[in-house]
Amino acid sequence: MIAAACPPLFRRLAGSCVALGMVLALAGCSGGDDGSFDVVFMEDEAVLTDSGVRLSPGAQHVRAATRAGLVAINAQGEVVPALADRWNVIENGSIFVFRLRDGTWPNGEELTAPSVRDALQRAIRSLRGTSLGLDLVPVDEVRAMAGRVVEVRLASPMPDLLQVLGQPELGLVHGEGETGPMVLERDGENILLTMRPPAERGLPDSEDWRDYVREVRVTGLEPAQAIERFDDGDVEVVLGGRLGSLPLADLGPLSRGTVRLDPAIGLFGLRARRERGALATPELREALAMAIDRPALASAFNVGGWVPSTRVVAPDLPADPGMVAERWQGSSVEDLRRVAAGRLAGLTGQDKRLTLAIGDAPGEQLLLRELARQFATVGITLVQARSSEGADMVLVDRVARYASPRWFLNQFNCILDDGLCSLEADRLASRALDERDSALRARLMGEAEAALTRANVYIPFGPPLRWSLVRGEVDGFAPNLWAFHPLPDMAVIPR
């Protein structure tokens, strides 16, 4: 069993247990002696350098390494300085004031408040129509002030603004060239990332700085190939492990590495796409949710420490008012399935057949088989959809960007047109944005979650599973809530 060494991290947002995962064996030798550091992402290499705003996890890591925002996210998942070296919050949280570091843009122009303001406005505009764009709705104005100061003014409270501004998609550009701590070049088929001089990273200069950084070679491979290269000692870190690739971790001896599980929060469950058959009404969709034995899902993957949930919003978030509890507490799976079967009994023929858009990776197919077995107990046939376009349901497997109910609710906003939704939930969440009183705002968010729960457009399982392979001698890696592991942190050699 891959057992969580600190299971409470799945249950509450506290602590800093670094090795949340079972150590499979002791660390071995490094993957090379040429001073480079090799990282493999378990995804298609072609998407790692995408230039758009809908980035894969690997592309987010590369973007964060090569393009800086006002702030950044470090290895522990905390907000740290980037283009802004300090900031403060005034006017009861309605104004965030950022003081820019000394320096220039890559094209040689001075890093000024007006140029940063314009770059941030462009980045925000580019995200319109995405869930991250919805997260930024409270941003009312970006102002350039005297003395290299930029102000972000909010129309409504946004306690998580810094976390959002630290996302890779909010990296800023001005003219040609990138602004991040690392420079991207091509090394044959690989991506080669090299650290910029300290002064270009907003740090004090040092003559021997090159002795304390290393190049990072990045590539993308199929999970089985990535694991094989790690097992052979060719790479130090493999990132991007998900549910689909988790069973592969047991295929090889992995004799010189460790599996690290992130205590991630986010969405892991089924999203209804169409109102038909067993998905025609909220009551029928609830029956499907009642048929799920969530602990059995974890057992199928032999994962310890994973805590299932029936809530749309992750439990125990800092702003959670405690209004929405876990569903069906005190009822056995057998009792719930009897009720569910009764509701679904009137369906016949094709109405009892559902298609699910899900990948072909081993873990995804294992999940499909387990879900099909469980749905069969209430008379529903579940099969894999040939395409996501015509599927009745889709698997949602997404890590949160910040720890607020608002992120979860935004993923189901009707504006995104990404499946069934709740206009009532959207209305309540919108009202919450305009509310200055924190207690009332939290209550409205709780009411929005309750409305989305009643609509039964999403069947939650629990938090998403994210894992990595990391050699024991690697510094700069830490499991965190966002399953985000900055490459510059791993490129630094401790003094």
CB 421 within 8 A of CB 433: no
**Among 266, 295, 268, 270, residue whose Cα is nearest residue 285:** 270
User: pLDDT at position 257, please?
Assistant: 54
Distance CA 230, CA 234 (A): 6
pLDDT at position 216: 96
pLDDT at 403: 96
Per-position DSSP letters for 321-349, written without gaps between them:
-S-SPPTTTT--HHHHHHHHHHHHTT--G
Residue 467 banded pLDDT, cuts 50, 70, 90: very high
Query: Over the stretch 246-287, which tens digit does the pLDDT of each residue have?
Result: 999 854 444 445 889 999 999 999 999 999 999 999 999 999
Dihedral angle of Cα 370, 371, 377, 381, to the nearest 10 degrees: -120
Mean pLDDT of 276-302: 94
Residue 152 above 80 pLDDT? yes
Per-residue pLDDT of 346-384, as tens digits, reads 999 999 999 999 999 999 999 999 999 999 999 999 999
CATH number of 68-179: 3.90.76.10
Which residues have CB under 8 Å from 346's CB, separation 6+? none
Residue 347 CA to residue 339 CA, distance in Å, equals: 14
Is the per-residue pLDDT at 1 higher than 80? no
Q: Which of 59, 155, 103 has the alpha carbon at shortest distance from 432?
A: 155
Q: Coil, strand, or helix at residue 90? A: strand
Helices (H) and strands (E) in the chain, counts: 14, 18
- Give ∠ CA 126-56-231 in degrees, rounded to 5: 160
- CATH 3.40.190.10 segments of the chain: 1-56+180-264+467-495
Q: What percentage of the chain exceeds 90 in pLDDT?
A: 79
List, for residues 2-25, the tens digit of each pLDDT value.
444 333 333 333 333 333 333 333
Query: What is the average pLDDT value for the chain, to the nearest integer?
Result: 90
CATH topology assigned to domain 1-56+180-264+467-495: D-Maltodextrin-Binding Protein; domain 2 (3.40.190)
Burial of 338 (0-12, 13-18, 19+ CB in 10 A): middle
- The rounded distance, in Å, linking the Cα atoms of 434 and 410 is 15
Which of 15-24, 58-67, 104-113 is the least confident region?
Answer: 15-24
Residues contacting residue 78 through CB under 8 Å, at least 6 positions apart: none
Residue 34 confidence (pLDDT) above 60: no
SS percent in the chain: helix, strand, coil, step 5: 30, 20, 45
At the fourth CATH level, the homologous superfamily of domain 266-460 is: Dipeptide-binding Protein; Domain 3 (3.10.105.10)
Tokens 């990273």 correspond to 201
- Short-list 2, 5, 28, 41, CA closest to 471: 28
pTM of the predicted model, to two decimals? 0.91
Across 64-68, 300-304, 462-466, least confident range: 300-304
**Range list for CATH 3.10.105.10 in the chain:** 266-460
DSSP one-letter code for 492: B
Chain position carrying tokens 């002030």: 145
Instruction: Give the Cα separation of 445 and 471 in Å (integer).
Output: 42
- How far, in Å, CA of 484 to CA of 266, rounded? 13
Residue identified by tokens 């992120």 is 407
Q: Provide the 8-state DSSP code for 198.
A: G
- pLDDT value of position 250: 58
Out of 25-34, 163-172, 466-475, the most confident range is 163-172
| Nearest Cα to Cα of residue 404 among 76, 166, 158, 165 | 158
